[in-house]
Amino acid sequence: MSPSDSITRTAILTGMHEVAIEELIIRFDGTVVEVFYAGRGNSERLHIAHLEQIELLRLDSRRGPALNVKAVHHGGFTVNNLKMRPDQVAPLQALLATINAAIPR
């Protein structure tokens, strides 16, 4: 499988969810969200208690959508111009919905 293939993995025993698309990998274990972004060569790790919302914006942009992470204490971050195919949107949206549902309100 090439790195550009959409990968959605769920490990039943650990409860780990992961979506990998092009330069972006998002992992969620039920309490911690990890975002690995090859385009910037860095990663972010946030506990859901520090999150306000995580969303995919600008789906209609020709340059690619943006992943927006709103955090309670440090403001969050945005990853712009994601390279992804249309068939990769649904698995990513499903993971983001799972993360948002777990955020304490």
Q: Can you give the pLDDT of all 105 residues of the chain as single tens digits?
A: 444 444 444 444 457 899 998 889 999 999 999 999 887 778 999 999 999 999 999 888 888 899 999 999 888 898 888 888 888 999 999 999 999 999 998
**What pLDDT is stored for residue 14 in this prediction?**
59
How far is the C-alpha of 13 from the C-alpha of 27, rounded, in Å?
15
- Judge if pTM exceeds 0.85: no
Q: Is residue 26 part of a domain?
A: yes
Q: Is residue 1 part of a domain?
A: no
Q: Is residue 38 part of a domain?
A: yes
How far is the C-alpha of 52 from the C-alpha of 37, rounded, in Å?
20
Q: Which among 44, 35, 28, 6 has a CA at the least distance from the CA of 95?
A: 28
How many structural domains is the chain composed of?
Answer: 1
Q: Is residue 2 part of a domain?
A: no
CATH number at 21 reads: 2.30.29
Q: Is residue 53 part of a domain?
A: yes
**What pLDDT is stored for residue 49 in this prediction?**
94
Host domain of residue 15: 7-102
